[in-house]
Amino acid sequence: MRAYELIKAKRDGRALDPADIRSFIDQYTRGDVTDYQMSAMCMAVFFKGLSAVELGAWTRAMLESGEVLDLSETKGIKVDKHSTGGVGDKVSLSLAPLAAACGVPVPMISGRGLGHTGGTLDKLESIPGFRVDLSVADYRRLVKDIGCCLIGQTATLAPADKKLYALRDVTATVDCIPLIASSIMSKKMAEGIDALVLDVKVGSGAFMKTLADARTLATTMIGIGKEMGKKVVALLTDMDQPLGRAIGNSLEVIEAVEMLRRKAPDDYTEITLALTAEMLVLGGKAANEAEARKLLIASMDSGAAEKKFCEIVAAQGGDPSAITDLSKLPRAKKVIPVRAMREGLVTAIDSEALGLAAMALGAGRAKASDVIDPAVGFVLERKVGDAVKVGEPLLQMHVNEDARVNEVTERVLAAYTIGPQAAATRPLVLEKLS
């Protein structure tokens, strides 16, 4: 069937034949199906969904659009982690060296920012010299030699997803469960892993706003993993407010290093430990979560985790002294407080609105061609449950240009809800699925 016929069929809610799906993805990879046609298909999928059979065919077509890596030369069980994205989610930056320091090989292929959420690659590139565009040969070598490599998609690895990933970001089709699941799992199954830990975010700062939607996404990805012979564990984690206190690329690297020094905010530390512990159990380095946590704490206390991060940075062309001396990371010219206009307790933070405010400041992209400013962002002074008086700072805004300060200030104030009574809180880890 022609692309037009397939788009029309899905628009009208009809099931697509797996062979037609494979042909459509193959033609898109080669450029015979245009971006505007794929945009139309994505919007049709957004509204009409994909059946289990269609989703399996779509994911496998994305996976087989490029090469599937073989990491058999690396000893041990290779485990990766993937987050569905949230505001202030810098977990991968600390999790990867933590797991590798404990002996679990971590082949991690990450993405750039999507919508209001930051991207691991953008954060890593705020480290002077750090390269995420390594070759497949370098990727294999680093996973084998130092136990970890963090790169972006290569030209040969799930190229269909690489094209589609950027397209979804600018066509309002990011928060679509079939497209999220197929994107994540096609990349992860192609990178040579044996097992995968999923961090499925739930709340105002996540793409999945409800627990039900997050559970559906998690079970969908677990099902895809099972079909392909991989062990997959998913944690549903809270994203009703930003994770940690830093939002912005360089600022989040700083907080990630502080976490390895056991100086980071409790919520960020707990989520990182919970996810990395699952990796150690899947990787055969710990019998259970309690044992895994002991190993993780020991790797931080001994300095092994930070040393591993420096080793990764050096191996990927970065300056490891920027990790040991955080003042070498990009810094904004000005730090401007955004002050509370009323007294009370912070009862809610609209994390998506705060993420969009950071994007407007230059920390993210409104369109694929935008250039990110690695230094700008926010450091939160008040989070949910904290008391604040009139004139006290809600957050510190790190800026290089004055042009949007007033607009961003208004966005920040609108994102905070201040009231007379404390809001009910929920656990950081809401559910575990496997």
CATH number of the CATH domain containing 243: 3.40.1030.10
For residue range 401-428, what is the model confidence (pLDDT) as tens digits? 888 899 999 999 999 999 998 888 889 9
Say which residue, 144 or 156, is predicted with more confidence. Answer: 144
Q: Which of 60, 168, 188, 398 is catalytic?
A: 168
Are 25 and 142 members of one domain? no
Q: How many domains is the chain built from?
A: 3
Would you say 72 and 228 are in contact if contact means Cβ atoms under 8 Å apart?
no
DSSP annotation of 344 reads: E
Pairing of strands 387-388, 246-247: unpaired
CA 75 to CA 242: how far, in whole Å? 37
* pLDDT at residue number 166: 81
More confident site: 284 or 192: 284
Residues 7, 145 within the same domain: no
161 noted as active-site residue: yes
Active-site annotation holds for 82: yes
Same domain, 182 and 137: yes
Residue 319 lies in a domain: yes
Q: Is 168 a catalytic residue?
A: yes
Looking at residue 84, its pLDDT comes to 87
Does pLDDT of 116 surpass 70?
no
Helix axes 249-260, 91-101, angle to 10 degrees: 30
Residue 297: band (very low, low, confident or very high) from pLDDT cuts 50, 70, 90: very high
301 & 180 share domain: yes
Question: Out of 82, 123, 162, 188, which one is annotated catalytic?
Answer: 82
Domain edge (last residue) among 276, 301, 326? 326
Q: How far is CA 238 from CA 12, 203, 218, 428, 430, in A?
A: 36, 6, 14, 5, 7
In a domain, 91, yes or no: yes
Question: What local confidence, expressed as pLDDT, does residue 284 receive?
Answer: 97
Catalytic pick among 60, 90, 123, 187: 187
- For residue 416, count other CB atoms closer than 10 A to its CB: 24
**Looking at the structure, do residues 398 and 249 belong to the same domain, yes or no?**
no
Distances (CA, A) of 173 to 202, 251, 366, 422: 18, 28, 14, 35
Residues whose CB is less than 8 angstroms from the CB of residue 231 and which lie 6 or more positions away in sequence, other chains included: 194, 195, 196, 225, 282, 434
Please check the confidence at residue 365 and state whether its pLDDT lies above 90.
no
Give domain status of residue 61, yes or no: no
Does residue 72 belong to any structural domain of this protein? Answer: no
Domain end point (choices 281, 299, 326)? 326
Q: Which of 161, 194, 199, 350 is catalytic?
A: 161
Which of 296, 326, 356 represents a domain boundary (last residue)? Answer: 326
Domain of residue 7 covers 3-49
Task: Give me the half-sphere count of Cα atoms (radius 13 Å) on the Cβ side of residue 410.
Answer: 4
Active-site annotation holder among 110, 126, 182, 183: 183
